[in-house]
Amino acid sequence: MKDKFVILFVCTGNTCRSPMAEGALRALLEKERPGKFEVVSAGTASAVGFPPTMYAIEASRIWDVDITGHLSQPLSTSLVDRADLILAMTPQHLKEVLRLNKDAADKTYLLKNFPDPSPGGESVADPIGQDLERYNQTFLEIGEYLGKSLGEIVKKVDEKFDEE
């Protein structure tokens, strides 16, 4: 059996942005490449086992994305090593990935830059502590960039299976 293509999203606490991105991309890829991928997320300052925020769950639910089963986890070297593609929410998150494994540079991108490998660029702002409207805006922003880059992500998934 072929391994799945693993996509890792990275944010700070792993209770807002990265779980929303994880759920959104999972929903998109399930239509495009069912069974060929795994989407996970982690936080650079995350505790273990916390659910997404209530507003992250609600903002996702509006778009028929269910993230209620998500539990937070800290970013680790093993997650970085296992991932085929890493999408960071901010340049600082990207730096933290590369601090754990400098060899991950060729598979690590800023979400808003992908597929451009430039390490600097625009961040997805953290909605933590803000109202539902801000979470909705964040989900839409993430969804917009995932929609723009879906073709490139699918291409990377296909490349992994073509190599095997």
Sign for the CA dihedral angle at 132, 136, 137, 141 comes to: positive
State pLDDT tens for residues 27-63.
Answer: 999 999 999 999 999 999 999 999 999 999 999 999 8
pTM over 0.85: yes
* Per-residue pLDDT, 35: 94
**Residue 2: its pLDDT value, please?**
59
Give φ, ψ of 156 to 5 degrees.
-65, -40
In the chain, at which residue ranges do the beta strands (DSSP E only) sit?
5-11, 37-43, 85-88, 108-110
Structure tokens given for 38: 């795994």
Q: Distance of alpha carbon 65 from its chain centroid, rounded? A: 14
Q: Which residues are catalytic?
A: 11, 17, 126
Q: What is the pLDDT of residues 79-92, one digit of tens each?
A: 999 999 999 999 99
| Domains present along the chain, CATH in parentheses | 5-157 (3.40.50.2300)
User: With b meaning 16 or more CB within 10 Å and e meaning fewer, what string describes 116-151?
Assistant: eeeeeeebbebbbeeeeebbbebbebbbebbeebee
Phi-psi region of 146 (alpha: psi -120 to 50; beta: other; left: phi over 0): alpha
- Give 163 or 46, the one with higher predicted confidence: 46
C-alpha span between 15 and 22 (Å, rounded): 11
Q: How confident is the model at residue 164 (pLDDT cuts 50, 70, 90)?
A: low
pLDDT at residue 1 above 60? no
